[in-house]
Structure 1
Amino acid sequence: MLWSKRERNAAIEAHIPAMRRFALTLTRDCHRADDLVQDALVASLSNWAGLRNPDSIKSWLFAILYRRFLSDVRREQGRGEHYPIDEAMGLAIPPEQDERLWQSEALRAVALLPEDQRTVLWLVAIEDLAYADVAKMLGLPLGTVMSRLARGRERLRTILEGGAVIAMRKMK
């Protein structure tokens, strides 16, 4: 499918908020998340011909973002940088007061998960991507995605100490 520049930009722009949420989940820092999204957007525009299926634009953009994140992590591994998570609380749309506390608690609990579990949980439960898309995006077998998701859900339940449990959807 040939896209006009306007159609391409509109298709990409529609996914920027979700990309930013995912980047924040990965980096735990608002400024680093913004930089990561910008790098991923530049890469997606310069590699637009690499999009094989227009219906999978979201998972394609997320895959680019995730690969950029992994490259950054490898490059910075020896530096031992700190990733603050306090800024993450200000990104959500303001909910009702009683839900605000729960959402804050849930975000903190998700931030405590190991990166591999947090990433899979975020992509499946929050970004609503299919297991197969997540597996392809992360370069993992489907079974690994499913086991990381199950372990992440269980750890999240443990962290929340039997309180409110995030409703997760069934396998697609």
Structure 2
Amino acid sequence: MSGAARLDVTAHLEALRRYARVLTRNGSEADDLVQGALLRALEKRASFRDGADLRVWLMSILHNHHIDRLRSTSAATARETAWADLAPGFAPPAGEHAVRLEQLRAAVLTLPEDQREALHLVAIEGLSVAEAADVLSVPPGTVMSRVGRARAALRRWEDGGTARLSSIRLVGGADDAT
């Protein structure tokens, strides 16, 4: 088997993670970045030249993957901001409910994208965890984790706000007793 067909990256994992941590300043994001870079390296293994420095090649892929993610995030943020600024395409409810729904909408929009997506699919669209996992192309446990973190963030927001979310039940999970 040629060097391009079999790349032993295990010796370089710690260096990749350290570099990813410097780029992202976040452990879980660094792990995601390394995983994505290793996937790209696997897909592009035929482009690795025998005799080249594997560590440098992997670091280059990691760096380029990071830049691609930054660009993608920037574009997604711009799209989300534009969407959030649009007036709703429905008649707003009257009174307290209108204010409460706007507060909840703003709180949901502050969630990280991955949590917001998972929460929307499970709580709003009513998909099962398995169905949401298929839509997002992630394991069901990841969907459950993202929904759990989103719910916890909304509870923290609720505790810090003047109004309670007790009248709003997120589908697919038990609400705290109040």
Q: TM-score, normalised by structure 1?
A: 0.49
Q: Specify the structure having the higher radius of gyration (Cα).
A: 2
